A = this chain, B = another copy of it.
Amino acid sequence: MAARASSKTSESSDKVSVICRALRRAIIEQALEPGAKLPEDALGERFGVSRTIARHALGQLAAEGLVELRRNRIAVVATPSWQEARDAFDIRIELERLVVRQLAGKLTKAQIAELNAHVDAEDRARGGTDAVSIRLATEFHILLAHMTNSPILVRYISEVAYRCCLTLSLYSRPHSSECAINEHRAIIAALAKGDAAKVMELMHHHLDSVANRALVAPTPQRGRDLLDILAPYADEVTSDRVVKLSKIARRG
């Protein structure tokens, strides 16, 4: 399956696609945090296009689950629930097991070199920001998916991986990417060796550990609550009284 006619599925150079890519990257790098407003006007102005185009782009991103769109409301960056995050990881595990099953023992030397080069890049980026590390780690998985030459698989893996990125920014503590990198190397080695069962197990464990490390279950109602989020800002309140819950709770 590793030698298959390559099919062009990637986005063309529409203005819509360009904006989609830009927004997608901004979201997964957490430049745009979950809940951030995305007014059509502002996007259009920022990217030098009309509202029509910005609107269309938002529609696409909503289809990917990165943006939430409610009628007559300003679009916002999606804020997946903890349960949705788990669901996304569950799906991702199955799909990525499929990927490595298809690839085991079928990679060319050039492809293995490409994978190693990517992990090297991840290594070099360890000193940088978490956002970049996470993005590179995610792109490693997408690179793997590409090697199956299955456009559908690429699309689903990309989408679900981006969603996982999004949830990491919500529910994860500072990212320790070191072991992830080692696990990536182990996966490449097992792929090269052609041990399908082994590499499926490795991938499963890899994603499962990322998920478990990341998705520290918030206590159902209090974790990552608005009050916690606003705690650092409480200092700015001149009054010594606690800010009323009712005033905050209706933030859309």
Residues of chain A touching chain B, judged by Cβ–Cβ distance below 8 Å, are: 4-5, 7, 12-14, 16, 52, 55-56, 59-60, 63-65, 70-71, 81, 83-84, 87-88, 90-91, 94-95, 97-98, 150-153, 155-156, 160, 163
CB distance from A103 to the nearest CB of B (A): 13
Please measure, in the bound complex, the distance between the C-alpha atom of A59 and the C-alpha atom of B52, giving whole angstroms: 13
Residues of chain B within 8 A (CB-CB) of A163 are: 152
Taking a contact as CB atoms closer than 8 A, the residue among B5, B13, B65, B97 that contacts A94 in the complex is B97
Taking a contact as CB atoms closer than 8 A, the residue among B12, B70, B88, B153 that contacts A91 in the complex is B153
Identical copies of this chain, number: 2
CB distance from A157 to the nearest CB of B (A): 10
Taking a contact as CB atoms closer than 8 A, the residue among B7, B70, B87, B150 that contacts A150 in the complex is B87
Please measure, in the bound complex, the distance between the C-alpha atom of A152 and the C-alpha atom of B86, giving whole angstroms: 10
Please measure, in the bound complex, the distance between the C-alpha atom of A42 and the C-alpha atom of B83, giving whole angstroms: 42
Please measure, in the bound complex, the distance between the C-alpha atom of A88 and the C-alpha atom of B156, giving whole angstroms: 11
CB distance from A48 to the nearest CB of B (A): 19
Closest 10 CB pairs of A and B: A87-B150, A94-B94, A63-B63, A87-B152, A94-B98, A12-B71, A88-B152, A60-B63, A56-B59, A87-B153
User: Interface majority SS on A: helix, strand, loop or mixed?
Assistant: helix
Question: Given the interface contacts A4-B83, A63-B64, A71-B14, does A91 sit within 8 Å of B152 by beta carbon?
Answer: yes
Please measure, in the bound complex, the distance between the C-alpha atom of A163 and the C-alpha atom of B95, giving whole angstroms: 17
Residue of chain B at shortest CB distance from A65? B152
CB distance from A200 to the nearest CB of B (A): 11
Residues of chain B within 8 A (CB-CB) of A155 are: 65
Residues of chain B within 8 A (CB-CB) of A81 are: 7
A-B contact pairs, 5 of them (CB 8 A): A7-B81, A56-B56, A56-B59, A63-B64, A87-B151
Residues of chain B within 8 A (CB-CB) of A71 are: 12-14
**Max chain B Cβ within 10 angstroms of own Cβ: one of A64, A83, A84:** A83
